Each structure stands twice: as C-alpha cells, then as structure tokens.
Amino acid sequence: MTGASSRLGQQIAQVVGELNEAKLTFALIGGLALAAHRVVRAEGLIAFKLQALVNDPRRTRDLEDIRELLRANRMTLDMQQIRGYFQLFEREGLLDELLAAS
C-alpha cells in the first residue's frame, strides 16, 4: 500500500510493511481492510448494509444505519459510488428518498 494519506492509512501501511518484512502471513479484516483498499468506511458500510437489506427487507436496523451513515457523512461520501451501489441493487429510488429526507 503506497501513498496512504490518512493517519490510519499510514499506520496500516507501516504494520503491513513490518508483517511482510517478517514474512508473516496475515489478513486485514473489517474496517482495516476497507481502509487498506482506500474505501471510505462509511461507503463500504452503506454497501454492506444495503446488500443485507436487499437480501432481507425485514432488516429495518440496516435501513436506519444507512440513513444515519448518509446523514453523518454526506459531505465526504463519493455520491456517484453510493448511487452505483443502489443502482446495482435496483434501489436508486430508495437512495433518492433517503437523501431527500436528510
């Protein structure tokens, strides 16, 4: 991982470098994996929660989480990428509703 600009990104790069240097096998999971791939955590979480909601519409907690993630991170999200997630699951209308309400 090169060119990490955030503090977390720099820390992950340092740890990954040291693990590679020690020739250890490792895996980054969860939010660390997202950060290592330069995915904004909120965007990754929105995609994950949207997929869960599509798979089981009774998961109203996921819908509330998506709503809150959009509200709290609206200024920093790549909305084109977010819209792409919603298009993928044919839920673009839901995104428009959520954005209009926030």
Q: Do the Cβ atoms of 42 and 76 come closer than 8 Å?
A: yes
In a domain, 2, yes or no: no
Domain count, the chain: 2
> So what's the pLDDT on residue 35?
61
62 & 81 share domain:
yes
70 & 86 share domain:
yes
Nearest CA to 51 among 71, 39, 65? 65
Q: Which two tokens stand for residue 98?
A: 């959520």
14-54 pLDDT per residue, tens: 888 999 999 998 877 766 666 666 665 788 889 989 999 99
pLDDT band at residue 2 under the 50/70/90 scheme = very low
User: pTM for the complete prediction?
Assistant: 0.61
Residue 3, classed as helix, strand or coil, is: coil
> So what's the pLDDT on residue 45?
84
Which residues span the domain enclosing 20?
Answer: 7-36
> So what's the pLDDT on residue 33?
67
Residue 84: pLDDT over 50: yes
In a domain, 82, yes or no: yes
24 & 47 share domain:
no
Residue 99, classed as helix, strand or coil, is: helix
> So what's the pLDDT on residue 89?
94
